[in-house]
Structure 1
Amino acid sequence: MTHPPYPEGTPPPADPYAPVDYPANYPPLPPPVYPTPYPASYPPPTAYPYPPPGYFGYTADPYDPYRPAKPPGTNGKAIAALVTSLAGLLLCGLPSIAGIILGIVAMRETKRTGQDGFGLAVAGLAIGSVVVALVVLYFVFVIVIAANSASYAT
């Protein structure tokens, strides 16, 4: 397809695909000028000191705002462990079994939450264990005495 004739006196249009040819005396561009770097107004950063031993949850950190709050009061399971273990002295050791179980549960719970009562849970576990051991020894002693007395009866 050809273009229609241009009016007289108009130059033909430039070819858009022709390479650009600059004149030989064209001045080259000066190198870019970058601003000078700003002087440091602050000293360079230094390393932070190592955090104290109780930091970041290794132990209960009083300055950590995201740690859960310590529940108020003494753990109820720890109190129940001590009471049921002592009740086992009066009631043939049966409540002491519950005291042992409650003591173990309360020890784990007080360690996890930080609530007071860990000592009560340990005392309940210890007393319950001693009472159950004494009741078992008592029954073993009664059985041994009964077996010996039965052999003497004949």
Structure 2
Amino acid sequence: MSTEEFRLDALLKLRKKEANLQQGKMNACIRRLEEQHQEMDRTNQEYNAVVTLLREEDQIGATLSELMVHRRYLERMRDLAKQQGELSDALAADLEQVRGHVIEAIQRCRAVEKLKERFVERESERAERSEQRFVDAETSARFAAVIQAESA
């Protein structure tokens, strides 16, 4: 193995490690985003349950203080939902950024793979040309020997 091929192999290994690292980061971002969406779903379900409870209590005649408590609770839940939405948007932006890094890493890896393929192809062509020159020289030497033998 030549030093250039060794270098290309080492570079390819580094690029693959980088791509795997970026893919791991992307998977972690996806997992966090899914968890955030589940948390948002739970908050929405809880909010809807409280609204339903409020409507039922309103029909049976809840006191003003009970309605105020529910109103404050709903306000806090709305704020929580807003925060969760902002966090979800930030996680989605992070995911897009990491996805871009993954694409770049994979493209770099493919570029090195193509360089390695071209190098191997050039080396095999060089070896083939060298072998062909050797065969041509050997054939020429035989013909020269035959011609000299016929001349003598």
TM-score by length of 2: 0.35
Q: Rg larger in 1 or in 2?
A: 1
More helix by share: 2
The structure whose RCO (Cα within 8 Å, separation 6+) is larger is 2
